[in-house]
């Protein structure tokens, strides 16, 4: 068994923290963009409009952050874990 094949379980904690960080990043993006919309609503006097738009923009930004992170991590592993037809 090579060292790359040996799994002592310690890598699971690091991966778990990485996923927690992505979830936290997603949540903070929604809250920050929503808060920015809320402040803009208070300034322009259009109460829920920019808050809702900001929350959706934050959700999209957070989702794209997760998407590109997963895409980068998958490419770094050489596409491991992806299914191809016929295998």
What is the tens place of the pLDDT at every residue in 43-67? Answer: 999 989 999 999 999 999 999 999 9
* pTM greater than 0.85: no
Asked if the structure places residue 11 within a domain, the reply is no
Residue 14 domain-assigned (yes or no): no
User: How many separate domains does the chain show?
Assistant: 1
3-class secondary-structure state, position 15:
helix
Q: Which domain holds residue 34?
A: 21-74
Q: Could you tell me if residue 8 is inside a domain?
A: no
Give me the pLDDT at residue 61, please: 97
Residues 41, 47: Cα–Cα separation, whole Å: 5
Whether residue 12 is contained in a domain is answered as no
For 3-50, write each residue's pLDDT tens digit: 555 555 556 677 788 889 999 999 999 999 999 999 999 999 998 999
Q: What pLDDT shows up at residue 41? A: 95
| Cβ partners under 8 Å of residue 36, min gap 6 | 50, 54
Residue 53 lies in a domain: yes
């Amino acid at each position: 068994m090579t060292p790359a094949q040996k799994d002592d379980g310690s890598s699971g904690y690091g991966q778990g923290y990485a996923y927690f960080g992505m979830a936290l990043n997603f949540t903070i993006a929604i809250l920050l963009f929503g808060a920015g919309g809320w402040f803009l609503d208070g300034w322009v006097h259009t109460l829920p409009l920019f808050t809702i738009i900001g929350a959706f923009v934050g959700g999209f930004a957070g989702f794209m952050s997760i998407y590109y992170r997963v895409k980068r991590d998958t490419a770094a592993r050489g596409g491991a874990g992806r299914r191809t037809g016929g295998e």
